[in-house]
Chain A
Amino acid sequence: MGNYLLRRLIVAVPSLLGISLILFVLLALAPGDPFGELASNPNIPPEVREALRIKFGMDDPIMVRYFRWLVAMLHGDWGFSFASRVNVDTLILQRIPATLYVVGTAQLLALIVAIPVGVLAARRPYSIFDQIANTFAFIGFSLPTFFTGLLLILIFSVNLGWLPFVYRADIPATGWMWWWENFKQAVMPVTVLGLYQAASYTRYVRSAVLDVIKLDYVTTARSKGLDESKVIVKHVVRNALIPVVTLVALQMPTVFGGAIVTEQIFRIPGIGSLLISAILANDTPVIMAVTFVFACLVVLFNLIADILYGWLDPRISFR
């Protein structure tokens, strides 16, 4: 096991290096530059723009810039944003709480909805409940979040006036009011993201349970006279959830990576909105850092998923 882990970690290094190189080169080759806004402002002489380009080392060859970035990154220096001149790690740390709260709650909501619905639907396939669940699941993942988000805003903010549609990280209230405000502003984004995710999870859970429920050992359990609920929870769900656990583990990076569209619609100051505004402003160090962290998380959670898999299913061994 220890050996396996070590080997996987060593293999991860070249793949991360490769990812970072590809990201860096792509960003360097992409058109646009962070000082575009200065370019169209006649009050700013071109020399200032030149000085800024030189100061931020933008005119050096790509490989030089890449190695400079890599060495700094290994020293723990993530660089700084061209737009705000703030260190990138500070920026990212500021954005993590909102993303964790909103996207994390949405994932929880998705699981809470998907597992019972999926299991129930699979227990009686093609029953009325299954048909309804399926229909909603299809609607759920066919409707994009930008549509459902705007729809909810229109209904609950504009027409009914119940919920705010501008998310704020700095709510001035304290005590219960603070919790209440935080809850109110998260309702719509969490619903939008959660139900979207729940729709696809439901389909996975259903098919995983369907695969297991027909197996002989389930019939054996039933014929032993075990309680139906015990059969489902202990014998069926436990085995059926193995692929679902992997799927959820692979979804985990997005909890950190944020949800670009939803965050933009509701103005949630999360990683996703940081990434999109950095892309629009051609703020390469921020784009680089966010995407690279994301790549690391994907590699890490892949590893975690593999280990979890072996732990849940002892037939799989690590070699």
Chain B
Amino acid sequence: MNERDLRNQIADVKAGRLSRRDFVQRMIAVGLSAPLAGAMLAHSGVAQAAEPIVYKPTKAGGGGPLKLLFWQAPTLLNPHFANGTKDQEASRLFYEPLAGWDADGNLVPILAAEIPSKENGLLAADGLSVTWKLKQGVKWHDGKPFTADDVIFNWEYSVNPDTAAVSVGSYRGIKSIDKIDDYTVKLNFKQPTPFWADAFVAAYGLVIPKHLFADYIGGKSREAPTNLKPVGTGPYVYVDFKPGDSISAKRNPDYHQANRPYFDTVEVKGGGDAVSAARAVLQTGEYDYAYNLQVEDEILTKLEAGGQGKAQLTVTGHIEYIALNVTDPWTEVDGERSSVKTKHPFFTDPAVRKAINLLIDRAAVQKFIYGRAGMATANFLNNPERFRSPNNKFEFSIEKANQILEEAGWKKNSSGVREKDGKPIKLVFQTSINAPRQKNQAIIKQAFQKAGIEVELKSVVASVFFSSDPANPDTYPHFYCDMEMYQTTMPQADPQFFMNQFTSWEVASKDNKWQGRNISRWQNKEYDETYKQASSELDPVKRAALFIKLNDLVVQDNYILPEINRRNCIGLKNGMVANKSGWDNDLWQIANWYRET
């Protein structure tokens, strides 16, 4: 799909020949995010078409308690410190961003009065600034008004290095913020920024009040009493918080959206394990919502038979993939293994990589392991099936793999292992300890053996595998083995961060204490150049075409083997209406949640 194809499709959407949703699905299918697809449409003059959020209650309150169950307990309630999605979700009860992303990649205003666009003149043509108009009459829970000063403060708070905020990635591209008036701010970027809807939007965009945090900026950030007793603009007001255990909140009577929220109180309970959390919602109905149900599909289906609730799955950009090591993990050079100065003994032969790609039985992995929670994919190709690009189809064929290896001169030796120049193909394949991953490893090992490739499986405790400890050789960035498998997450709406994991300057090495994001050490000049082009390209359509090209470059080289597109699964009790989006937090529309009677 090149730029012209994209333009044609956008024209189809404009003329009404292609539905907006189908267009977004196609973009997801080629590895882009829904928000990026939305940005392309907006840029091309197709109006934002956010479906109105369904909300039937005619008055605020009266809904009784809303009971939320998080098996990973929220530990803090300052969105700038959120360690994981559990903390972001919990902060969403109290704090709000200027806008959020809906399931189709539309920006939906929350604290903003309107969404900036070229048409309303709020978006600068040179990509150097964007103006946000804020909703007027919004009050913090303590009665103080929400104004432009609060917005500006959040940027200052986040980018101060002593604050050690995790949201800094979304704010450091801002050079300055002008206060036009009390309800208008203009963000000036350091360089032309095609993806401007990052700061103040969605999970990292939650706005905290200046008057309560101003004294706690920088080194004193930890001491702010409001870190644990949030005062926000959100639909629910803080009552009590026990870190790692529970949160209670009550309805905000002055909430800025009329007739909302529906529930009188919110009770959040944390801790335990995912299976029993699923049970409490789906089978016994003790709770209304359960977070991130990483439970095998078979068990989920059994629990759903309890009839109290349903599992709800949403498409995300998270990909479970296998990386082949470009470098040699078994030779030490200058104190590090997998050094970019070396070459992998087998994978340098494209035939071996191609054969390996044929030996991954993605369909079986989906069918027997992930079920509803994952879709088999190649080339970051997702559902729906009809959009699967024909030239990037995945295939599983032991015969073909054998044939390719045979032709490339890898002959079976007496013990049935293929070898060339006296070097038999023996691989070490590692992943983190997690039941589905071990089953996945076993399926792959079986196929490899049939093709004469010997595999040794290795599994590392997740807390070690995913750590950034430079001293531990078993972390995934060290990649001290031939192949590894894990999930790469796409928590942000724009693929630019996501795609920098294949640029040559991100290669993980001893020099950067293995903090680089390019784990497979794959390097390609064309990729680097295309990436640089994409990061400064202002036309979203051209930019999207560049991202598609980046995808193809990576995947067609067969070093990076996407396997499963993961879905986010939550449990909802019957009757609960929760507008869910895979591009924002589960609780992004918590103000509009209600229970049907």
Contact = CB atoms under 8 A, between A and B. Distances in A.
Interface of A: 31-33, 35-46, 48-52, 55, 80-81, 83-86, 91, 94-95, 153, 157-158, 161, 164-166, 168-170, 172, 264-265, 267, 269, 273-274, 277, 280-282
B245 A86 contact: no
B490 to A, nearest CB: 8
Interface in B61-99: 65, 69, 73, 75-76, 78, 81, 83-84
Contact of A169 (B69, B164, B245, B273): B245
A166 B69 contact: yes
Q: How many interface residues does chain B have, given as a range?
A: 35 or more
Contact of A273 (B222, B265, B271): B271
Contacts of B517: 42
A81 B177 CA distance: 34
Given A43-B491, A55-B164, A84 B76 contact: yes
- Which among B161, B204, B267, B272 has the highest number of chain A CB atoms within 10 Å? B272
9 contacts: A35-B468, A39-B466, A48-B166, A85-B81, A158-B283, A166-B69, A264-B271, A264-B272, A269-B271
Nearest to B83: A37
Contact of A269 (B162, B168, B246): B246
A264 B273 contact: yes
A170 B248 contact: yes
Contacts of B185: none
Contacts of B245: 94-95, 169, 269, 273
B68 to A, nearest CB: 11
A158 B488 CA distance: 36
A190 B49 CA distance: 55
Given A166-B69, A269-B242, A269-B244, A44 B166 contact: yes
B359 to A, nearest CB: 27
Contacts of A39: 466-468, 477
Contacts of A91: 243-244
Nearest to B473: A31
Given A48-B164, A80-B222, A166-B69, A42 B491 contact: yes
B73 A277 contact: yes
A94 B228 CA distance: 14
Contacts of A83: 75-76, 83, 243-244
Contact of B267 (A51, A81, A170): A170
B65 A172 contact: yes
B489 A42 contact: yes
A236 B162 CA distance: 68
Contact of B284 (A95, A157, A264, A273): A157
Contact of B271 (A41, A44, A84, A277): A277
Interface of B: 65, 69, 73, 75-76, 78, 81, 83-84, 161-162, 164-166, 168-170, 172, 204, 222, 227-228, 240, 242-246, 248, 265, 267, 269-273, 276, 279-280, 283-284, 286-287, 461, 463-464, 466-469, 472, 474, 477, 486, 488-492, 497-498, 500-501, 512, 515-517
Contacts of B164: 48, 51-52, 55
A168 B269 contact: yes
B472 A31 contact: yes
Given A42-B498, A165-B276, A168-B267, 4 more contacts: A153-B276, A168-B269, A267-B272, A269-B242
Contacts of A264: 271-273
A161 B466 contact: no
Contacts of A42: 488-492, 497-498, 500-501, 517
A269 B245 CA distance: 6
A47 to B, nearest CB: 8
Given A38-B166, A165-B280, A166-B287, A85 B272 contact: no
B17 to A, nearest CB: 36
B120 to A, nearest CB: 28
B269 A267 contact: yes
A33 B497 contact: no
B246 A166 contact: no
B285 to A, nearest CB: 9
Contacts of B512: 46
A80 to B, nearest CB: 7
A158 B279 contact: yes
B279 A48 contact: no
A291 B207 CA distance: 38
A35 B81 CA distance: 12
A187 B246 CA distance: 21
A37 B267 contact: no
B286 A85 contact: no
A265 B170 CA distance: 38
B466 A81 contact: no
A33 B461 CA distance: 12
A161 B246 CA distance: 23
B81 A265 contact: no
Contact of A40 (B248, B267, B466): B466
Contacts of A86: 76, 228, 243
A86 B243 CA distance: 8
A243 to B, nearest CB: 38
A292 B481 CA distance: 38
Contact of B83 (A38, A46, A269): A38
A98 B100 CA distance: 38
Contacts of A46: 468, 512, 515-516
A43 B469 CA distance: 19
A172 B474 CA distance: 47
A274 B242 CA distance: 11
Nearest to B74: A84
B12 to A, nearest CB: 32
Contacts of B78: 85
